[in-house]
Amino acid sequence: MSRKILILLLLLSLFCAIGIQEMFEKADLNDRARQGIDNSEYRQEFFAPDMRKNKDFLSDECRIFLNKVEKDSLYFPIPSSTLDDSLTVSYENSWMAERSYKKTNMHEGTDIMASRNERGIYPIVSISDGTVTSLGWLELGGWRVGITSPQGVYYYYAHLESYGDIQKGDTVKAGQILGFMGDSGYGKEGTYGKFAVHLHLGIYCWDTGDEISVNPYYVLRELEKKKLKYAYS
């Protein structure tokens, strides 16, 4: 075989490979465009930088919900302390990790852990404007607050030590204190101390009539840039 033909064949196979890769990428994008909010990949990767950059490729339903959360989420739920630098928080991407209380549950949220394991120290502020649509004890969530934003996104805050000055039906502003971080839950009303002090945060879409949770992890990563400062120690 002459050298020219060999080079030609090599080039041809290279073009084919690029063509096939493009075809797969297009198929992947088409696939994304068909997904609903209940798609597990969408819920897992929700708000990740790649998803936000490529949101035009999402289905209308998925893109609209993403835009709502983008518009509504204004502040990180735990302000930093102006009085004590050692009061920090940390969290991991633990979406769908196993949690067990009575039975195995899949984790539908993000746990924001307190560097000081003491209930009642860290204030919790509302991420968004909204209405207090649920308040009170839940066996799993302990003292919990549910805020429905103007766009209809439901933010769920659980395991509080106590509440701020809020009641069911109240209107709240983003940054307003909802309560204080604690370790309530996993038992009858008033149970504390079954796990370390933390805030469990959940983000839900209720548009379709179903309660569909998405991974709050990447939303929180973005909100790190929007941390308020409060005087607490």
Please count the CA atoms within 13 angstroms of the CA of 223 that sit on its side-chain side: 28
Distances (CA, A) of 37 to 17, 74, 87, 147: 33, 22, 36, 20
Q: Which stretch binds Zn ion (CB under 5 A): 60-68, 107-115, 123-131, 212-220?
A: 107-115
Q: Which stretch binds Zn ion (CB under 5 A): 44-52, 76-84, 103-111, 113-121?
A: 103-111
Minimum Å distance from CB 20 to Zn ion? 43
Q: Which stretch binds Zn ion (CB under 5 A): 12-20, 70-78, 141-149, 198-206?
A: 198-206
Dist. CA 87–CA 180, nearest whole Å = 14
Residues 137-176, interacting with Zn ion (CB under 5 A): none
Exactly one of 58, 143, 200, 223 binds Zn ion (CB under 5 A); that residue is: 200
Dist. CA 215–CA 218, nearest whole Å = 7
Please say which residue, 109 or 123, places its beta carbon nearer to Zn ion. Answer: 109
Radius of gyration of the chain, Cα coordinates, nearest whole angstrom:
22
Please give the torsion angle defined by the CA atoms of residues 109, 111, 112 and 116, in that order, rounded to the nearest 10 degrees. Answer: 160
CB-CB contact of 202 with 148 (8 Å) = no
Size of the site for Zn ion (CB under 5 A): 3
Minimum Å distance from CB 93 to Zn ion? 12
Minimum Å distance from CB 185 to Zn ion? 9
Minimum Å distance from CB 76 to Zn ion? 17
108 makes contact with Zn ion (CB under 5 A): no
Exactly one of 72, 111, 161, 183 binds Zn ion (CB under 5 A); that residue is: 111
Minimum Å distance from CB 200 to Zn ion? 3
- Pick from 75, 49, 52, 50: which is nearest to 225 by CA? 75
Residue 219, φ and ψ in degrees, nearest 5: -65, -45
| Enclosing H/E stretch for 87 | none
Minimum Å distance from CB 150 to Zn ion? 26
Please say which residue, 68 or 200, places its beta carbon nearer to Zn ion. Answer: 200
Please say which residue, 72 or 111, places its beta carbon nearer to Zn ion. Answer: 111
In a 3-state reduction of DSSP, which class is residue 50? helix
> Which single residue brings its beta carbon nearest to Zn ion?
200
CB atoms under 10 Å from CB of 229, counted, come to 10
Residues in touch with Zn ion (CB under 5 A): 109, 111, 200
